[in-house]
Amino acid sequence: MRGRPPGRTARQLVAASVGNGVEWYDWFAYSFLATYIADEIFPKGTGNSLVPLLSTFAVFAVGFFMRPVGGLLLGAVADRAGRRGALTLTILLMGGSSLLVAVTPTYASAGVLGPVVLVVARLVQGLSVGGEFAASTTFLVESAGPGRRGLFSSFQYVSTTAGQLAASGVAALFVSTLDDGQMHQWGWRAPFVIGALLSLAGFWVRRGAQETRSEKHAASPRPGLFDALRGHPRESLLIVGITAGGTIAYYVWTSYLPTYAQVNAGFDKGDALIAGTISLVFFMLLQPLGGMLSDRVGRKPLLLGFAVGFAVLCVPLLHAVGDSFVSLLLVQCAGMVLLTGYTAIAAAVNAEIFPARVRAAGIGFPYSLAVALFGGTAPYIGTLFKELEMPGAFPWYVAVLCLLSALVYLRLPERAKEELER
């Protein structure tokens, strides 16, 4: 990496974190406002079989389907044209798709055009989020000084969680201050306009960041789209194995646990969301501590602590979820402590596996594929087990995946103290 003037390191962190936070604000805003979107874009009882089909496709499948594609395509952009260029592209894509959601016509005014526009917006959002992880992971870790890659890595999930909390807060603010008619008429659109404006701010910050790809690699022949997969199949499979347990634990504990408490323990919806919000703040504060610890003791102890801890404790923790607010909060916070062993250092671990020439695309595609296969399906598998009258099987499913990832971590080389190729 080129020499960094004083003060540039902080700008690098801000460029990656602010942009990543905006990306995830836009992504989660859709989830929090999905009820209003469904009512306006996919009205019930239309009699048009195409509308519920598009609704199901848009809400449940499109975003996660496009994430591996985004990881591959935009990761290749980061490897070919530079990390900074890819980061500015991802945030513009997310801002544009957020604005597209905001101006999506209702079914009542434009018929099936409304659902089609929304599907296109979600396609672009999924593409952007998949590319964002590939580019920002590479950018963050390559920006770190000696012995600080774990710390810098932790800001990936600091900013992701901040974006999730911001989306939840903005959605809650509009729902609490507007009446139901206003929310359905225009209120649900406003958070997406805010997201588009935030994307412009993030674009400005990222434009001033320093490129982390070295001059040597910038001058070398550009890698092909599938060079990472063809040249490094073992490393690609390794990313899937590293991610499988981590992503399902992350989605269960940060997104699905309030629903799990409602469905399986009859927990009050409002109290479940409050407990989830408190635990997310706790989780966000833990990330830099986990990153700094990994710079001192290595990555493997934290990864194994996470995976073995979840494999052993996931079942008793989920069974401990009752109708008490304190019990749910304690279960969530205990899981967050274990989960930090993965999330705080996932970016560093992934970046340390691939050579610089194909690092972004090498990370982007297998990581996003694993998230789509294991993380994105977690709520649906949990609900399926409940419908099959086998709710106790879901914690074992999570535990087994974490155990499989633990076996991968055992074979993983320790690279925390090694110099990173740039």
Q: Write out pLDDT tens, residues 154-193.
A: 999 999 999 999 998 998 889 889 998 899 899 999 999 9
pLDDT of res. 122: 87
d(CA 300, CA 311): 16
10-residue block means of pLDDT along the chain (422 residues)? 53 84 86 80 62 53 81 91 90 93 90 87 89 89 87 93 92 88 92 94 87 70 79 91 93 80 74 86 96 95 96 89 85 94 94 89 91 80 78 87 94 87 73
How many CB atoms are located within 10 Å of the residue 195 CB?
28
Please report, to the nearest 10 degrees, the dihedral formed by the alpha carbons of residues 367, 369, 373, 376 taken in order. 70
Q: What is the rounded distance in angstroms from the CA atom of residue 10 to the CA atom of residue 16? A: 10
The Cα–Cα gap between 140 and 156 comes to 8
* pLDDT, position 6: 39
Which residues are CB-contacts of 296 (< 8 A; sequence separation ≥ 6)? none
Tokens standing for residue 302: 């934290």
pLDDT of residue 2: 44
For residue 244, give Cα distances in angstroms to 325, 377, 394. 30, 12, 15
| pLDDT score of 60 | 55
pLDDT at 243: 94
Check if the beta carbon of residue 353 is closer than 8 Å to that of residue 239.
yes
Cβ contacts of residue 275 below 8 Å, gap of 6+?
Answer: 258, 261, 325, 328, 329, 332
pLDDT tens for each residue of 66-125: 889 999 999 999 988 888 999 999 999 999 999 999 999 988 888 889 888 988 898 898
Q: Spell out the alpha helix ranges (H) of 371-422.
A: 378-387, 393-411
Q: What is the model's pTM?
A: 0.85
The H helix count followed by the E strand count for the chain is 21, 0
Quote the CA–CA distance of 250 and 306 in Å, as a whole number.
Answer: 11
Q: Scanning the structure block, which residue is given the tokens 């996660």?
A: 64
* Number of residues that this document lists for the chain: 422
Which residue segments constitute the domains of the chain, with CATH numbers given?
A: 7-231 (1.20.1250.20), 233-353+377-413 (1.20.1250.20)
Question: Which tokens hold the place of 136?
Answer: 């920002």
